[in-house]
């Protein structure tokens, strides 16, 4: 599976940790930056990753900033994107099962590294439930 990943300076360290994790698990990683800890603008990175996912260049995306909030707001502006900001594993599982979220957003200044990696694992490994009511609701979002 191809996973697009991106972060601003606020999420730069976690991007590197997640990239290591993804590579170790055999995922193909498309890295949209940023590539240093210098200050940059999160909407640009969010748009790059969202475009890759919406354009089916990548199956899923992961975006990290200080809070994860700016990234989720920006990514959700792109049609076809269902970006979920998660700070716990219950939400990470539920948003895959119910929302078929295709981008995971994380806040490096909010959660610790161990929890962050657990969230990434649960989110990647949980399939969409394919429940009729969930499909209906997702198509309502798309319209
Ligand atoms: C950068 O200081 C910070 O605003 C950004 O990483 C993010 O938290 C925005 O939502």
Q: Mind listing the domains of the chain with CATH numbers?
A: 2-142 (3.40.1400.10)
Hey, whose CA ends up nearest to atom 3 of ligand 1? 66
pLDDT for the residue 57: 98
Cα torsion angle, 26, 30, 113, 37, sign: positive
134 is an active site residue: no
pLDDT for the residue 73: 98
Q: Ligand 1 mean position to 67 CA, how many Å?
A: 6
Q: In sequence order, what are the beta bridge partners of 105?
A: 63, 85
pLDDT for the residue 40: 98
pLDDT for the residue 136: 98
pLDDT for the residue 1: 96
Cβ neighbours, 10 Å, residue 12:
19
pLDDT for the residue 5: 98
Show the beta-strand stretches assigned E in the chain.
2-7, 28-31, 60-65, 83-85, 103-107
With beta carbons less than 8 A apart as the criterion, state whether 48 and 104 touch: no
Please indicate whether residue 73, judged by its CB atom, sits closer than 6 Å to ligand 1.
no
Low-confidence ranges of the chain (pLDDT < 70): none
Please indicate whether residue 108, judged by its CB atom, sits closer than 6 Å to ligand 1.
no
Helix H or strand E encompassing 79: none
Please indicate whether residue 69, judged by its CB atom, sits closer than 6 Å to ligand 1.
yes
pLDDT for the residue 32: 98
9 is an active site residue: no
């Amino acid at each position: 599976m191809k996973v697009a990943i991106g972060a601003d300076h606020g999420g730069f360290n976690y991007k590197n940790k997640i990239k290591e994790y993804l590579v170790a698990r055999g995922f193909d990683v498309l890295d949209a930056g940023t590539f240093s800890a210098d200050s940059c603008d999160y909407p640009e990175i969010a748009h790059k990753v969202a475009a890759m996912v919406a354009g089916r260049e990548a199956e899923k995306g992961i975006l990290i900033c200080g809070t994860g909030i700016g990234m989720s707001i920006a990514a959700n502006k792109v049609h076809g994107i269902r970006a979920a900001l998660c700070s716990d594993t219950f939400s990470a599982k539920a948003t895959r099962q119910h929302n078929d979220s295709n981008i995971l957003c994380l806040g490096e200044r909010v959660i610790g590294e161990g929890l962050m990696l657990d969230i990434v694992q649960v989110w990647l490994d949980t399939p969409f439930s394919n429940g009729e009511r969930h499909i209906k609701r997702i198509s309502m979002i798309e319209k």
